[in-house]
Amino acid sequence: MKKRNWVIAGAVVVLAALGIGYGIRSSHYQDRFLPKTEVLGVNVAGKTVKQADQKLKATLADVDYQLKDGGQTVATVSGKTLGLKRDYQALLGKLLAKQNPWGFSAVVLANSDKSALASSADSKEITTYATSEAASLNKTRTAPVDAKVVLKGDSYKVEKEQAGNQVDPHKLAEALAKAIQDNKHSVALKQTFYQPKAKATDKALINAATKLEKIGRVKAVITITNHKEQIPASRLKSWLSYSNGAVQVDEKGVAKFVTELANKYNTYDKARQFKSTKRGTVTVPAGIYGWSIMQDKETAALIDLIKKGQDFDQQVLHRGTGYHADGADIGSTYLEIDKQNQHEWLYQNGKVVLDSPVVTGKPATPTPSGVFAVWSKQRNATLVGEDYRTPVSYWMPIDNTGVGLHDASWQPTFGGTWYQKHGSHGCINQPPSFIPKLWAAMSVGTPVIVF
């Protein structure tokens, strides 16, 4: 019985001693870190916040971090350069507040607050270094190449992406921060490489190749007067591409094609071969009459039609005068003025309905040759020049310099060689008895061929 009491008494003493020891231990760790505590890989067990801060500064500022590429070290940077010399007291204070001083087990604080540690490691210095080092490394490195749709032979294929080895500064900064957090002293550069944004397996690229193939088979026709121009399939396909998530049509390529059509078919500002009444086929220089393709609008229209991916036959967009579906340009209704023969003929639907002798400009002020058109009709107008002011009963201007058709009551005769000494300042003088009939038979827009 006595022995049992002694055992109990001894146990009480031991427990009391343990309780006192535990209390002392708990009190000791109220402002110190527990055993086996690590912060950013540095053992701070038993230290106060201030002591731990000093140790972290001293340890981490002297640590070197290596950037490795395929086992080769391509750069080394110190913790001091990465900003690991700064004040850690705020971080340490937060971590100390989270530990349980009454606990028996050790707390490894480096794993207890990853977000705080990551924030601590993500410094301005790390970002600055990563940006600078990436720029330096990338001078001799290859950028990745995105997968893309390309024309190979006669069909469209998705060309596989190509990996590169250029460093993404944002990824490098993150990798350095994580290495510091995990107490590792090297970073594998491969994990920081830029990656291709588009891959050959992307559904959008596969669908784009199919769509381009369909568009490339479109029968694209442009109708110009009585001609039809089909865009060659090979040329059409050379304009097609896929980027920014959409099918693209090369505007410069289409514009070049439209320019070729304009050079071939435009009649404005071009000389013409004209079958005259008395002198056979003559060459008549350009005047104000003629039409031209509206190149900018035509280019835009073709691009829109091509993108739709359907066969089309488009009437070309044009401006000016003389565009006829039969390709005649001047047509079969016009006024012909032959300066050499001092005579004019009015044709309607290919037949002469009126003709008369005329007086054109004298040699010093000749009537200009060209293909013109009546652009206005006026009664009782006054013609004004540098040295004359002449009223006329009928006035039909045909160019943009003041030349036109009008009655000339002051001329005693018309035709022959009279014009050589008594010709006009450039206008085509009409017999007063004839011009009322010509006035009635001609409308605004009627071509006037002078040669």
User: Which pair of tokens denotes residue 451?
Assistant: 């040669």
Coil/strand/helix, residue 273? strand
Asked if 34 contacts 49 with a C-beta cutoff of 8 angstroms, the reply is no
pLDDT tens per residue, range 234-272: 999 999 999 888 999 999 999 999 999 999 999 999 999
Is residue 422 annotated as part of the catalytic site, yes or no? no
The reported pLDDT for the residue numbered 86 is 65
Name 145's bridge partners: 162
The reported pLDDT for the residue numbered 399 is 95
Architecture of domain 334-450: Beta Barrel (2.40)
Name 395's bridge partners: 378, 406
CATH topology assigned to domain 203-320: Ubiquitin-like (UB roll) (3.10.20)
pLDDT tens per residue, range 356-369: 999 999 999 999 99
The reported pLDDT for the residue numbered 75 is 96
Which sequence spans correspond to the domains of the chain?
1-27, 203-320, 334-450
Q: Is 111 exposed, middle or buried (0-12, 13-18, 19+ CB in 10 A)?
A: exposed
| This prediction's pTM | 0.66
Asked if 421 contacts 338 with a C-beta cutoff of 8 angstroms, the reply is no
Name 450's bridge partners: 337, 370
Asked if 274 contacts 330 with a C-beta cutoff of 8 angstroms, the reply is yes
Determine the Cα–Cα distance for residues 12 and 31; give it in Å rounded to an integer.
30
CA distances to 68, 134, 176 from 185, rounded to whole Å, are: 10, 18, 9
Residue from 282, 412, 427 nearest 362 by CA: 427
Given the residues 318, 343, 425, 427, the one annotated as active site: 427
Name 151's bridge partners: 156
Asked if 97 contacts 143 with a C-beta cutoff of 8 angstroms, the reply is no
Determine the Cα–Cα distance for residues 451 and 335; give it in Å rounded to an integer.
11
Residue type, 206: I
Cα 173–Cα 176–Cα 179 angle in degrees, nearest 5: 150
Determine the Cα–Cα distance for residues 79 and 189; give it in Å rounded to an integer.
18
The reported pLDDT for the residue numbered 326 is 86
User: Which pair of tokens denotes residue 91?
Assistant: 């971080």
**Residue showing tokens 């505007």:** 251
Q: How many residues does the chain have?
A: 451
Determine the Cα–Cα distance for residues 320 and 298; give it in Å rounded to an integer.
15
Given the residues 28, 406, 422, 425, the one annotated as active site: 406
Going residue by residue through the chain (451 aa), what tens digit of pLDDT does each one get?
545 555 444 444 444 444 444 444 456 678 998 888 888 778 899 999 999 988 888 887 778 999 999 989 999 999 889 887 667 888 888 888 888 765 543 333 444 444 444 444 447 899 999 999 999 999 999 999 999 999 888 889 999 999 999 999 999 999 999 998 787 899 999 999 999 999 999 999 999 999 999 999 999 999 999 999 999 999 999 999 998 889 999 999 999 999 999 999 999 999 999 999 999 999 999 999 999 999 999 999 999 999 999 999 999 999 999 998 888 889 999 999 999 999 999 999 999 999 999 999 999 999 999 999 999 999 999 998 877 899 999 999 999 999 999 999 999 999 999 999 999 999 999 999 999 999 999 999 999 999 9
CA distances to 48, 154, 258, 389, 426 from 216, rounded to whole Å, are: 75, 9, 18, 65, 56
